[in-house]
Chain A
């Protein structure tokens, strides 16, 4: 990994030095041991702050819409983060040529609290980057540990609808409506979210279970066909709500029904932005 990091620092310094980009968005070490943080590098000499390791948990593409006014951006991205970058390009939130994408093969990141591989990473099927400008490192490191016996995402996928509803409600009961999930999600870039509209008010402000569920169901449906399964929402949650159960299930359905995987090809429109005569339409009776 050290060589990967050295390569990254050299490339970042060069891009800034040549004025190919105005800013490099990457990860650096924070004050808490083991917890990396997003860093914004605009001087070649600061490129030495950049790190790459299995603790690089934040999906940095959430910063693209607000940082793009500073000029062309270089961004360091895991393959899953890249899928949300591709979705942002597809949705015209940023132009492909305004980004220099630095990526690498990834076999999952660890939870900074437990040191175990994150559950969303266990389910990841895209561990080589679909698009990039610079590829650093080589083969993805192999995780030694076995997947844990209790896999909520797998259980949710297989469960009958009644059980899924129960599992979903149990997760929702933990939610405190802080919107960390939404704000950490690169695809939640709406200027005004429906939950904050007051005329008309769509849902109550508090933590009544129905209000909480409407927020999460609406968000999940809005992200359907656009979600890169990066797991930023689950990792952001201060209360440990497993939002992956809904996201992974919906994404699998989209793949099955519309033969599309979000964020793989910047030149292709997302599943729900286009219509094909052979699209699944059995729900029209």
Chain B
């Protein structure tokens, strides 16, 4: 489709117009960073950071979600009131767009239809925000992510000096930009210059599709215990991740009344796989690290057809002990992709 343009100082007016007819989610300043939040006033939108502290997944898959309330005596249940007005999710980074694409495959794809996810996802228009300058822990290049375009976004904003160029990908997106001017040839020229600029990806990552195939045979490899040595087993990496989707479901009760709640869960925690019997199949850190890596880089590919990582680098930035997923991938690739001595 076509490409249009908006001045940066007109953005608030654009968002205000959206707010008249839609709910709006966008990055909002929070402490030393930003988070995707419900926005009431356009001026609260904060695009000052490379990416929000947590990914956009929580808009459709919140950390804490009441599925229904129940009464054990009457055996009746009722769902919480839901806001089904159309929504716009604005300012989504390319890595988070790729994260939503992966979550879509899981929650709305073939094998599982998650009604709670779908209900929120289906009436949300997604507006991406291109990322001209990757950060020091970014490695989205390893996933072939285009930082200037995305098939998932209904609209894709590209910051360019004093304007945003807007790639219009869908009818739903087009409806939001009917009043905007078309981009000029000069704008498109400037975009080409921006796209061709040198980027600052700092670490070379092995070919992940090749690695993905090789990992299928590495369940019993020796390196898992070694690479997990310094991990302290918290869930920080899983909770800031755009693709981690494991959850727990618990009933919280008081007398006859209760509610069923879905909450995020994280596979690096030692009790993640604790069985009701008291048996825990993953007692060692190495077994848990193996699960994290194989799920992201092998099983998800096998089951859903894509990798369950987008190279956003949040887990690297925020790990309390400086675990670096890029180094882990390089280490594993060094072991499994190199021919053994004497082989070709």
Q: Is the CB of A32 within 8 A of B137?
A: yes
Interface size of B by CB at 8 A reads 39
CB of A161 closer than 8 Å to a CB of B: no
Q: Is the CB of A179 within 8 A of B31?
A: no
Q: Is the CB of A180 within 8 A of B250?
A: no
The interface stretch among A90-98, A130-138, A199-207, A274-282 is: A199-207
CB of A11 closer than 8 Å to a CB of B: no
User: How far apart sit A236 and B233, CA to CA, in the bound complex (Å)?
Assistant: 12
CB of A38 closer than 8 Å to a CB of B: yes
User: How far apart sit A183 and B237, CA to CA, in the bound complex (Å)?
Assistant: 13
User: How far apart sit A278 and B250, CA to CA, in the bound complex (Å)?
Assistant: 46
Residues of A within 8 A of B239 (CB): 176, 178, 238
CB of A240 closer than 8 Å to a CB of B: yes
Residues of A within 8 A of B30 (CB): 174
Partner of A184, one of B32, B229, B234: B234
Given contact pairs A31-B324, A40-B229, A184-B320, A240 touches B31 in the complex (Cβ within 8 A): yes
Proximity bits, A43-72, B CB within 8 Å = 1, else 0:
000000000000000100011000000000
Interface size of A by CB at 8 A reads 38
Proximity bits, A138-159, B CB within 8 Å = 1, else 0:
0000000000000000000000
Residues of A within 8 A of B248 (CB): 205
Residues of A within 8 A of B321 (CB): 37-38, 58, 184
Q: Is the CB of A239 within 8 A of B266?
A: no
* Interface residues in A3-24 (C-beta closer than 8 Å to B): none
CB of B327 closer than 8 Å to a CB of A: yes
Q: Is the CB of A205 within 8 A of B232?
A: no
Residues of B within 8 A of A179 (CB): 234-235, 269
Residues of A within 8 A of B79 (CB): none
CB of A118 closer than 8 Å to a CB of B: no
Interface class of chain B by DSSP: loop
Closest CB in chain A relative to B36 CB, distance in Å: 13
Proximity bits, B64-79, A CB within 8 Å = 1, else 0:
1000000000000000
User: What's the count of A-B pairs with C-beta under 8 Å?
Assistant: 98
Q: Is the CB of A176 within 8 A of B54?
A: yes
* Interface residues in B109-136 (C-beta closer than 8 Å to A): 136
CB of A33 closer than 8 Å to a CB of B: yes
* Interface residues in B315-331 (C-beta closer than 8 Å to A): 316-318, 320-322, 324, 326-327
Q: Is the CB of B261 within 8 A of A239?
A: no
CB of A35 closer than 8 Å to a CB of B: yes
Residues of A within 8 A of B (CB): 30-33, 35-40, 58, 62-63, 113, 174, 176-180, 182-184, 192, 196, 201, 204-208, 232, 235-240
Knowing that A174-B30, A236-B234, A238-B318 touch, tell me 13 more A-B residue pairs with CB under 8 angstroms: A32-B317, A62-B232, A63-B230, A174-B31, A178-B266, A184-B321, A204-B261, A206-B63, A207-B63, A207-B64, A207-B263, A238-B53, A239-B53
The 6 closest A-B CB pairs, nearest first, are A236-B320, A206-B64, A238-B318, A37-B322, A180-B234, A178-B235
